[in-house]
């Protein structure tokens, strides 16, 4: 569902991704981990068409070949870390969820918005509220709902729970897991949190300075068995402080 081959990205003179390659099968959940600045978000942005690609190739979703921005939106959507910054403060939840339907000319707006509120566990009476009337966890449910309005097969999740209280994190992780199972979604998830990888993902890639230094299954992560020195270092630092 996702194929990244020898991806390179530059910002000016600085190359931030070097020959990154990985594949994610349909229905699989794949994590990108690595220290701050290693290029995790840049990979997601390249897949979402938000940064120019300097080299290599990307393939995504059910559709073959080059895609317009509009076609890409049907294949892949992104969920960001900050549920406060990612929602328009003066648009109601209904506006936010209806917008993709209007842009893509999809019918049955009322039915679809209500069904999506149900799917993400938000009470229907929240439909005409503004973001500031919602908690952080509720806002993140709205962001997930918005991402799913066009029924894309792929979700790109950039630290979707790290801005939330610990108790709320678990609720959102459970929601993501059940939505993935129900809809057969493919996830590409960026996180600093190895327990989140273990809960939600099948495999992971470890990035360092714009290169993948190791790929592993989640069993290896659970056992702390990494092949690369950097993988072990990251594991020791994250799990044992």
Binding test (CB under 6 A) with ligand ATP, winner from 1, 29, 30, 41: 41
36 binds, among Mg ion, ligand ATP, none (CB under 5 to 8 A by kind): ligand ATP
Comparing C-alpha atoms, which of 184, 163, 161, 158 is closest to residue 173? 161
16 binds, among ligand ATP, Mg ion, none (CB under 5 to 8 A by kind): ligand ATP
- Measured CA to CA, the distance from residue 112 to residue 127 in angstroms comes to 12
Residues 5-24 that bind ligand ATP (CB under 6 A): 11, 16
Q: Is 41 in the site for Mg ion (CB under 5 A)?
A: yes
Q: Is 42 in the site for ligand ATP (CB under 6 A)?
A: yes
Report residue 204 as tokens: 């992971």
67 binds, among ligand ATP, Mg ion, none (CB under 5 to 8 A by kind): none
Binding test (CB under 6 A) with ligand ATP, winner from 22, 30, 40, 212: 40
153 binds, among Mg ion, ligand ATP, none (CB under 5 to 8 A by kind): none
128 binds, among Mg ion, ligand ATP, none (CB under 5 to 8 A by kind): none
Q: Calculate the CA 220 to chain-centre distance.
A: 22
Comparing C-alpha atoms, which of 91, 100, 143 is closest to residue 120? 143
Q: What is the DSSP annotation of 80-135?
A: -S-TTTTS-TTS-HHHHHHHHHHHTT-S-HHHHHHHHHHHTT--GGGGG--GGGS-
Q: Is 231 in the site for ligand ATP (CB under 6 A)?
A: no
77 binds, among Mg ion, ligand ATP, none (CB under 5 to 8 A by kind): none
Q: Is 196 in the site for ligand ATP (CB under 6 A)?
A: no
Comparing C-alpha atoms, which of 43, 168, 30, 150 is closest to residue 98? 150
Convert 42-70 to b/e letters by CB count within 10 Å (16 or more is b).
bbbbbbbbebebeebeeebbeeeeebeee
Comparing C-alpha atoms, which of 50, 135, 125, 46 is closest to residue 87? 135
The H or E element spanning position 198 is helix 194-200
Give the interface segment with ligand ATP, choosing from 32-40, 87-95, 212-220, 227-235 (CB under 6 A).
Answer: 32-40
Instruction: Note whether 175 and 200 are within 8 A (CB).
Output: no
Give the interface segment with ligand ATP, choosing from 35-43, 174-182, 194-202, 217-225 (CB under 6 A).
Answer: 35-43
Binding test (CB under 6 A) with ligand ATP, winner from 13, 36, 166, 167: 36
Comparing C-alpha atoms, which of 138, 41, 126, 128 is closest to residue 83? 138
Q: Is 37 in the site for ligand ATP (CB under 6 A)?
A: yes
Binding test (CB under 6 A) with ligand ATP, winner from 29, 38, 96, 161: 38
Interface positions with Mg ion (CB under 5 A) = 41
Interface positions with ligand ATP (CB under 6 A) = 11, 16, 34, 36-42
């Amino acid at each position: 569902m996702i194929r990244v081959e020898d991806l390179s990205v530059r910002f000016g003179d600085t190359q931030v991704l070097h020959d990154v390659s990985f594949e994610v099968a349909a229905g699989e959940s794949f994590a990108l981990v690595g220290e701050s600045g290693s290029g995790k978000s840049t990979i997601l942005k390249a897949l979402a068409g938000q940064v120019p690609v300097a080299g290599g190739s990307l393939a995504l979703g059910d559709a073959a070949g080059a895609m317009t921005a509009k076609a890409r939106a049907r294949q892949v959507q992104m969920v960001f870390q900050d549920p406060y910054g990612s929602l328009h403060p003066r648009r109601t939840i209904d506006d936010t969820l209806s917008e993709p339907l209007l842009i893509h000319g999809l019918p049955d707006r009322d039915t679809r918005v209500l069904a999506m509120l149900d799917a993400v566990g938000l009470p229907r009476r929240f439909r005409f509220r503004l973001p500031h009337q919602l908690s952080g966890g509720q806002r993140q449910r709205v962001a997930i709902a918005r991402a799913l309005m066009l029924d894309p097969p792929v979700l790109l999740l950039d630290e979707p729970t790290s801005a939330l209280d610990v108790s709320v994190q678990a609720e959102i992780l459970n929601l993501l897991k059940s939505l993935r199972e129900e809809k057969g979604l493919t996830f590409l998830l960026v996180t600093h949190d190895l327990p989140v990888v273990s809960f939600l993902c099948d495999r992971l890639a470890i990035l360092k300075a714009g290169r993948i230094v190791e790929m592993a299954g989640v069993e290896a992560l659970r056992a702390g068995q990494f092949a690369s020195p950097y993988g072990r270092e990251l594991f020791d630092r994250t799990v044992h402080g």
